Amino acid sequence: MATTTDPTSHLLDLPGARLCYETSGTGPLLLLVGAPMGSRGFATITPLLAEHFTVVTYDPRGILRSTVDDQDAEVTLDLLTDDVGHLLAALGDEPAYVFGSSGGASIALALLTRYPRRVRAVVAHEAPLVELLPDGEQLRAALEEVCDTYAGTGRNEALKKYAALTGVERFSRPPGGGRHEVTDLESFTPPDDVRAILDRFFLHILRPTACYRPDLAALRAAAAPVVVAGGTDSKGQLSHRAAAALAGELGTALVDFPGDHTGFQGEPEPFVRLLRQVLTGTA
């Protein structure tokens, strides 16, 4: 029997794309944003959050069930952010709590500056904002090398370079938790899906989300609060360093969330407890 926490799928036509999104639960609107991760990447926490919120997840354009008219068209952070703005507009006038993870956190920050009336609060979990780091120029060049390697040499070599650069040794966690090195991706995700996600990530999503320089003045002046989060087990990694730098620029504390870069997959219950506390504190 279906419950209020069971997700319902919807389609939204956008310029050049069709977005697939899911809704579940009741209560205040909470949007979960990943990049390149889609709805199923949040599967461990969506039902827990849906007991208290109307949870919305989606597949970014060109990822899994969300299609694009032109696979080779340029993707910018503004484009990815506008997709979310259109999605929130389709959901109604209620401003949303927004939790963004990794590249999705970059989108969440841009959403607040581009669509401030749509946002109630932002929790930015480990946005990989290399431009905020003192070695940002070198990191940007290294990211370019990773993407060029992916396009030229192939998937395995690029993944090794990406893992060495970021410290993230897996693309995602399987639903049951546990470690999977980047070479074992196909053991828990259908191979065709993995390849499609990686193609989209390295060729179209990594550069705009990691090389985004947020409008710090606009974020400081925003009516909606910004909570910057990092993983307790990812300290020293690129995205955790960037999160700490962002918190410093905004003059706020870095909130330690359970687990690593994808801690919500490995430790969903404590992660959701803290996320609820943080969101309640912004209300």
pLDDT, one tens digit per residue, over 3-14 is: 556 899 999 999
Instruction: List, as one string, the DSSP characters of 116-181.
Output: GGGEEEEEEE----GGGSTTHHHHHHHHHHHHHHHHHT-HHHHHHHHHHHH----S---TT-----
How far apart are alpha carbons 107 and 217 in whole angstroms? 17
Tokens representing 218 are 């606009």
Q: What is the pTM of this model?
A: 0.92
Confidence bin at 78 (pLDDT 50/70/90): very high
The pLDDT value recorded for residue 154 is: 82
pLDDT, one tens digit per residue, over 226-235 is: 999 999 999 9
Inter-residue contact 198 to 171 (CB < 8 Å)? yes
The pLDDT value recorded for residue 194 is: 81
273 part of a folded domain: yes
One-letter amino acid of 155: R
CATH of the domain at 248: 3.40.50.1820
54 part of a folded domain: yes
> Would you say residue 246 has pLDDT above 60?
yes
144 part of a folded domain: no
37 part of a folded domain: yes
How far apart are alpha carbons 22 and 9 in whole angstroms? 4
Q: Poorest-confidence range of 47-51, 108-112, 167-171, 249-253?
A: 167-171
How far apart are alpha carbons 48 and 11 in whole angstroms? 24
Confidence bin at 170 (pLDDT 50/70/90): low
The pLDDT value recorded for residue 156 is: 86
218 part of a folded domain: yes
104 part of a folded domain: yes
Q: Please tell me the total number of residues recorded for the chain in this structure.
A: 283
The pLDDT value recorded for residue 79 is: 97
The pLDDT value recorded for residue 5 is: 66
The string over 44-61, giving b where at least 16 C-beta atoms fall within 10 Å of a residue's C-beta and e elsewhere, is bbbbbbbbbbbbbbbbbb
Let me know if 131 is exposed, middle or buried by CB neighbors in 10 A (0-12, 13-18, 19+): middle
Instruction: Please count the structural domains in the chain.
Output: 1
Tokens representing 170 are 């897996």
Nearby residues of 138 by Cβ (< 8 Å), 6 or more positions away: none
One-letter amino acid of 201: F
pLDDT, one tens digit per residue, over 127-165 is: 999 999 999 999 999 999 999 999 998 888 899 999 999
Using DSSP, state whether 119 is helix, strand or coil: strand
How far apart are alpha carbons 107 and 101 in whole angstroms? 9
Let me know if 107 is exposed, middle or buried by CB neighbors in 10 A (0-12, 13-18, 19+): buried
Confidence bin at 75 (pLDDT 50/70/90): very high
> Would you say residue 90 has pLDDT above 50?
yes
202 part of a folded domain: no
Q: Which structural domain, as residue segments, surrounds residue 109?
A: 8-133+213-282
263 part of a folded domain: yes
pLDDT, one tens digit per residue, over 41-67 is: 999 999 999 999 999 999 999 999 999
Enclosing H/E stretch for 212: none
